[in-house]
Amino acid sequence: HYEKSLNVATELVDTHVEDGHGDDPAIRFEGEEITYADLQERVNRFANALRDRGVEPGHRVLVRFPNRPEAIVACLAVQKLGGVALPSMKLLRAKELEYIVNDAGATHAVVYDDLLDELEEAMPELDTLETVIVAERGADVDHDHLRFDDMLEAGDPDLEAYDTERDDLALMLYTSGTTGRPKGAVHTHRQLLSTADTYARYCLEPDREDVFGGNPPLPFAYGYGDLVTFPLRFGATTSLVEDATPGDLLDAVDDHGITILCSIPTAFNQMLSEHPDAPSEYDLSSLRLGMSAGEPLSPSTFEAFQDDYGMTILDGIGTTEMLHIFVSHRHHDDVDPSATGFAVPGYECKVVDPETNEEVDRGEAGLLAVRGPTGISYWGRPEKQNDAVVDGWSYPGDIFVHKPNGRFEYKSRRDDLIISSGYNIPGPEVENVIQELEEVTEVAVIGAPDETRGQIVKAFVVTPEGVVTGESLETDIQNHVKNTLAPYKYPRAVEFVDELPRTETGKIQRVKLRERERE
């Protein structure tokens, strides 16, 4: 329960300073440590400068950065003024930015110099954008916009937060738009805090000594929670690394003493394959927990981390629309790696028949419905809203089984279910089995069109360097699946590829593989 008058920036920063923790580290970045008092001063200065430049309560402000402290300062400053922070993924091109900025009606943009070109290209088509502020790596960047550092210097260090209410908007994130146009998912001050007070509080049990670190980008809801809301809610520290490779992550654990490592399955798999000796080469003794989302974590990756790192990785499923994870194990649970976990405390989940929305029996597959402190809320898309939320239940679009032991087991995205000769085959179940093989780094399984069967199971496989691909490996893969799962699930086609198509947040774009098969 939250007071009616609530401001997320105040809760995440000012409360710690008021409680005597101003000298505690809030952010570690490269060699720098930013305390809570420093962060408060930067947020206040930047917010005052933004207000002088016309940012008003309710305004949407684009924030376009790699994982750097300025991104956190900018988002919190906007929120402290009652505005809505709109972080954008780095790799968005001019056309995509044009769509998002116009759809959101953003008035201001705070941009890192490396990412300015695409915005400049889009500028002639941006209807509402009035002011651009550029943060610079060096002082020699040529542009006609306002400078982040000048604003920080000029801004007053004292600021009373705007008197926002708990249900005022604070954050807006666009979905990746793999199916149709991207949609703006909006979140309130209360919802931001509630992700920390449900998932983080009960599943991770953080305290001030924790150091959160990882590589999900901040504009990805998963990264925003892991690296901004959660650490700052608990007075802990966030360790930021710009464009972190798996090797950079290991360095950051060693240098910054990361205790909760947040990432996605691809990066966890790369840590295993590219740094097999990491546990003896790096000081990883600070690690107490891993967090994974974005794609299901395979049981073989979970087990490898338990064996090699002595670290449990909690898999979770969330969505940009729901803001963070709503199904996961808690860290003291007996983790069953074949399942995602339980409904996060504070959330209710049920598995329903997609036709009737009636709950199906335990053990049967159906669509997952979720109800809790966050829910799907789209910016200006009433038709999508009505499809996604029915009777107060949000439908993220995933197929799950509610197992007799209470855990929810992920099957596939609704769109990724393969129907072959009348059998329903969840692609990720086949992927998990193929992933067990040493000769496989990554795999994606889809339904490929087939005249007789409607669809056949097809696996796209990436192998480690030096592995010989060809018929013999194809047969090994097929036999392994036949021996592990019902034989109708085996991949009738296997294609070896150099890499899998992915979104910027690391999700495999199975839709692209399906499109390729249809061509």
Closest CA to 284 of 320, 308, 263: 308
**Cα separations (Å) of 208 from 59, 88, 396?**
33, 29, 33
List of E strands, 285-380:
289-292, 313-318, 325-328, 342-343, 348-352, 365-371
Tell me the closest approach of the beta carbon of residue 94 to ligand 3SK, in angstroms: 25
Tell me the closest approach of the beta carbon of residue 175 to ligand 3SK, in angstroms: 9
* Interface of this chain with ligand 3SK, residues 308 to 367, rule: CB under 6 A: 317-320, 324-325
Any contact of residue 508 with ligand 3SK (CB under 6 A)? Answer: no
State which of residues 43, 71, 293, 376 lies at the interface with ligand 3SK (CB under 6 A): 293
**DSSP letter string, 349-365:** EEEE-TTT-PBPPTT-E
Say how many C-beta atoms besides its own lie within 10 A of residue 4's C-beta.
Answer: 10
Tell me the closest approach of the beta carbon of residue 284 to ligand 3SK, in angstroms: 24
| Binding-site size, ligand 3SK (CB under 6 A) | 10
Own/partner pairs, 23-26, CB within 8 angstroms, 24+ separation: 24/208, 24/235, 24/237, 25/237, 26/231, 26/232, 26/237, 26/238
Q: Which is nearer to ligand 3SK, 24 or 442 (CB)?
A: 442
CB 418 within 8 A of CB 459: no
**Cα separations (Å) of 21 from 32, 234, 372, 431, 464?**
18, 11, 31, 46, 47
DSSP state of 113: G
Q: Which is nearer to ligand 3SK, 134 or 186 (CB)?
A: 186
State which of residues 27, 110, 119, 221 lies at the interface with ligand 3SK (CB under 6 A): 221
The distance of Cα 227 from the centroid of its chain, to the nearest Å, equals 10
- Nearest residue to ligand 3SK, using CB? 318
Coil, helix or strand for 165?
strand
Backbone angles phi, psi at 166, to 5 degrees: -60, -30
Return d(Cα 151, Cα 129) in angstroms, integer.
18
- Residue in this structure with the two tokens 């916009």, named with its chain if needed: 145
**Cα separations (Å) of 85 from 184, 189, 255?**
12, 11, 30
As separate numbers, helices (DSSP H) first and strands (DSSP E) second, the chain gives 18, 27
Q: Which is nearer to ligand 3SK, 152 or 293 (CB)?
A: 293
Tell me the closest approach of the beta carbon of residue 7 to ligand 3SK, in angstroms: 22
Tell me the closest approach of the beta carbon of residue 201 to ligand 3SK, in angstroms: 16
* Interface of this chain with ligand 3SK, residues 224 to 243, rule: CB under 6 A: none
Tell me the closest approach of the beta carbon of residue 229 to ligand 3SK, in angstroms: 11
- Build a one-symbol-per-residue string for 242-281: x at contacts with ligand 3SK by CB under 6 A, - elsewhere: ----------------------------------------
Angle subtended at Cα 99 by Cα 97 and Cα 101, rounded to the nearest 5 degrees: 65
* Interface of this chain with ligand 3SK, residues 413 to 432, rule: CB under 6 A: none
Q: Which is nearer to ligand 3SK, 133 or 325 (CB)?
A: 325
Q: Which is nearer to ligand 3SK, 317 or 388 (CB)?
A: 317
Tell me the closest approach of the beta carbon of residue 291 to ligand 3SK, in angstroms: 9
Q: Which is nearer to ligand 3SK, 324 or 350 (CB)?
A: 324
Q: Which is nearer to ligand 3SK, 293 or 367 (CB)?
A: 293
Tell me the closest approach of the beta carbon of residue 428 to ligand 3SK, in angstroms: 13
Tell me the closest approach of the beta carbon of residue 297 to ligand 3SK, in angstroms: 10
Q: Which is nearer to ligand 3SK, 328 or 478 (CB)?
A: 328
Q: Which is nearer to ligand 3SK, 267 or 494 (CB)?
A: 267
Tell me the closest approach of the beta carbon of residue 407 to ligand 3SK, in angstroms: 16
**Cα separations (Å) of 127 from 86, 99, 229?**
16, 10, 31
* Interface of this chain with ligand 3SK, residues 19 to 48, rule: CB under 6 A: none
Tell me the closest approach of the beta carbon of residue 259 to ligand 3SK, in angstroms: 19
**Cα separations (Å) of 181 from 95, 97, 99, 152, 473?**
12, 12, 9, 36, 39
State which of residues 83, 294, 366, 396 lies at the interface with ligand 3SK (CB under 6 A): 294
Tell me the closest approach of the beta carbon of residue 451 to ligand 3SK, in angstroms: 35
Return d(Cα 415, Cα 7) in angstroms, integer.
38
Paired sense of beta strands 313-318 and 289-292, if any? parallel
Q: Which is nearer to ligand 3SK, 172 or 325 (CB)?
A: 325
- Build a one-symbol-per-residue string for 437-476: x at contacts with ligand 3SK by CB under 6 A, - elsewhere: ----------------------------------------
Closest CA to 89 of 245, 184, 219: 219
Q: Which residues bind ligand 3SK (CB under 6 A)?
A: 221-222, 293-294, 317-320, 324-325
